[in-house]
């Protein structure tokens, strides 16, 4: 288990692993939005919570198809499926590795993004907290989508079509936490719901992911 995690992390960090692509995308988005919307701090502050969350969503999406595709192509997935590790665990570890290489960096860099978009200072704490609670769900749901499309040629676009609707509840509650935080309102309800979705997804979706992975491998 640990060895699978370290292998995945090592692969992501080595040349061609694609680590940092999501991060760069996030940064570019935070630069493009003011260029498109205009530099007025009031406008940017208003839309910052939504942009930061939508950006995190898209940045996560970018690296999803790598979760299984490479292992599928070189045959590792077949071998892992016959190895003495339950496939549910493999799937969870893969999601964890994806979160560590994509979700966690997004959380860490998000204050800088908030700065670029004039996020009100009261909202920083909630931005970091909501992303910390929400991005694991993005990785787990994305892993399910990646497992669904693993055998398909040109599955990348289909993957986005399948996964983005599944991201809707996470997005709504996550962005709601930040925008309520920015207005100084109580955030406990959306925060609890966000945490609930993450907990449910982390607990249940690996079973669905493993199931579809087995179907795709046969």
Partner 1 sequence: MGLRVTDLSCARGGLPLLEGVSFSLEAGQALVLRGPNGCGKTTLLRTVAGLQPALAGQVDLPPEAIAYAAHADGIKSTLSVAENLAFWAAIYGTSSFEEALDRMNLRALAGRAAQNLSAGQKRRLGLARLLVTGRPLWVLDEPTVSLDTASVALFGDVVRRHLQAGGMALIATHIDLGLPEAEILDLASYKARLPEIGAGTFDEAFL
Partner 2 sequence: MASFWEYANPLKFMRTTDWLLPIVTWAAVIVTTVGLVWGFFFTSDDFRQGSTVKIIFLHVPSAMMAINIWVMMLVASLVWLIRRHHVSALAAKAAAPIGLTMTLIGLITGAVWGQPMWGTWWAWDPRLTSFLILFLFYLGYIALWAAIDDPDTGADLTAVLCLVGSVFAVLSRYAAIFWNQGLHQGASLSLAPGTRMDWAYKAPLYTCMVGFGLVFVALLLAGTRTEIRARRMKALVTRERMA
**Applying CB under 8 A, what is the total number of residues that bind partner 2?**
28
162 binds, among partner 1, partner 2, none (CB under 5 to 8 A by kind): partner 2
Which of the listed partners (partner 1, partner 2, none) does 132 bind, with a CB threshold of 5 to 8 Å by partner kind?
Answer: none
The C-alpha angle with vertex 55 and arms to 66 and 88, in degrees rounded to 5, equals: 35
List binders of partner 2 among 138-157 (CB under 8 A). Answer: 144, 148-149, 151-152, 155
Task: Pick from 58, 100, 109, 158 the residue near partner 2 by CB under 8 A.
Answer: 158
Rounded Cα gap, residues 75 and 61, in angstroms:
24
Decide: is 211 part of the binding site for partner 1 (CB under 8 A).
no
Residue 218 touching partner 1 (CB under 8 A): yes
The correct pick among 41, 73, 188, 203 for binding partner 1 (CB under 8 A) is 73
Residue 123 as a binder of partner 2 (CB under 8 A): the answer is no
Positions that interact with partner 1 (CB under 8 A): 2-4, 7, 10-11, 14-17, 71, 73-85, 217-218
């Amino acid at each position: 288990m640990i060895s699978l995690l370290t292998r995945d992390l090592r692969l992501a960090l080595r040349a061609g692993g694609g680590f940092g692509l999501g991060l760069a995308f996030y940064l570019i988005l935070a630069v493009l939005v003011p260029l498109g919307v205009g530099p007025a701090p009031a406008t940017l502050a208003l839309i910052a919570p939504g942009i930061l969350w939508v950006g995190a969503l898209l940045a996560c999406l970018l690296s999803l198809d790598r979760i299984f595709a490479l292992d599928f192509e070189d045959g590792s997935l077949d071998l892992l499926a016959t190895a003495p590790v339950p496939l549910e665990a493999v799937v969870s570890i893969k999601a964890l590795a994806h979160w560590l290489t994509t979700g966690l960096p997004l959380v860490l860099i998000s204050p800088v993004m908030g700065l670029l978009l004039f996020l009100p200072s009261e909202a920083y704490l909630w931005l970091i907290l909501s992303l910390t609670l929400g991005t694991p769900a993005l990785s787990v749901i994305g892993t399910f989508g990646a497992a669904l499309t693993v055998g398909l040629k040109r599955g990348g676009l289909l993957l986005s079509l399948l996964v983005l609707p599944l991201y809707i509840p996470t997005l709504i509650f996550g962005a709601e936490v930040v925008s309520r935080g920015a207005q100084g309102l109580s955030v406990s309800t959306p925060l609890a719901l966000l945490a609930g979705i993450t907990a449910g997804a982390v607990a249940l979706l690996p079973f669905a992911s493993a199931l579809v992975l087995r179907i795709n491998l046969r």
